A and B are shown apart, each in its own frame.
Chain A
Amino acid sequence: MTIVAMVLVSFGVFFLTAGAVGLIRFPDFYTRMHAAGKCDTLGSLLVLIGLACYEGLHLTSLKLLVIALFIFITSPTATHAMARAAKRNNVPWWTPDGEERRR
């Protein structure tokens, strides 16, 4: 069970680091939000589920799963709210020919 927990937590840290690198490297607000929203949700979820696997069947693992469910619901909701705020305020997006396009 410890091996499974270590593998899950390592994958979670990989996804968190990939999300952070995407948040730096992407050229545009919407693509940055693409990296931040999904990679962050999946990374936190994998770390918490891995720790719950290490704990076994216990009240602590139940609390960990409740936190994971909460993050699974709320993190996409926050991302959606911020993307809607950007869309309604005409934040420009990136195009390959270098000009900023608005709508």
Chain B
Amino acid sequence: MRSRRLIEEAIRTRLNSTLDSPLRDQLLARALREQEQSQETQPALDGPVIRRMIMKNSIVKLGIAAAIIAVVGIGITEFLGTGSTSGTLWAQVAKNVETSSSVIFRTRGTGSRDPNDDWPNGYTVYWRTATVSRMDKYRGGQIHRTIYTNLDTKTLIGLFHDHKMYNEEALSDERVQQARTGWGWIAPQELINLGRSLEHHALGQKTIDGVLCEGIEAKGPDSSTARLWSAWRPATPSSRKSRAPAVVRAQWTSSAGTWT
């Protein structure tokens, strides 16, 4: 009777099956087709998973928009520091947001469709202009991925901080177009327009993270509510002379979860 070690070795090394060439090639071709077809109905490059959800109804659209606007404020507060602020009217905030040329925001939520890879503990910080994006993904409070996307140079670079490696790849024209489309929905202008399109009323003022904000509450046809707390200030001293991101914070509650 042979030893267990020999039997283990025999199973490891001698039991092997190989897919024959014709079937091997056919199956790969079919798998690639399946992958391509599935992408035709998938969100665009780097777009949060929640993007598909915002198409369902207007209040969900505002809810998601609120979440994104909220993180504009969080991002600035965390990364650019707090400065002197004053209460402003919503209309003024909206106007300033509309003229912003870039956004900084953080996404994190308690809903089941959290766009982060590491729900519920992870979050993502975005810096985004019309053509350039940087995305930092955090896990357990530590950064573990950074993704740079440049639509002008059509390149995407991924840094794997946890593995100390990186990857660079060229973006096809199709993916660039997808990215442009995907980025559009979180443009501040679109978010403001979305909020205005719904029935809403003023909530007054509230201090959030040391920033005095004006609030509105919007109501959707499905009785979900979205609260938007907003303030305006230049993000940095240098940006006083240029278009700067808005500082807005919001809370949205619906059956899908809560975003703050």
- A and B bind: no
